Amino acid sequence: MDVVLRKVGRKMGRAVVGRLLRAPRKGSVVVIEFPDGLHEYVTTPVKRILRLVGREVYYIQTANSRYRLEVRSGEPSAIEAPVAK
């Protein structure tokens, strides 16, 4: 699935556009492959995932950053927020 990942916070970084290789799951890292197929963007382990209702936009909190993940195309159901305990 094609996605756009942006950092959220004080220092807004550049957008990472590519293909999601590893969906965000609590405790694992998010991996996005760049269009060139040679490079990847890897986050630190995920702590929390929030989804905007009615849209394919997710907010991801990792060990040291926060991101906004927007699904552009593909199977959005592959990303599922964990059930709160």
- Measured between alpha carbons, how far is 69 from 74 in angstroms, rounded to an integer? 13
Please report, in tens digits, the pLDDT of each residue of the chain (85 residues total): 899 999 998 777 789 999 999 888 999 999 999 988 889 999 999 999 999 888 889 999 999 999 999 998 866 555 654 544 4
pTM as predicted: 0.79
Query: In angstroms, what CA-CA distances link 32 with 13, 49, 83?
Result: 15, 16, 24
Domain boundaries, the chain: 2-74
Give me the phi and psi of 41, to 5 degrees please.
-110, 125
* Half-sphere exposure of residue 59: CA atoms within 13 angstroms, side-chain side: 7
Output the six-digit token pair for 72.
């552009």
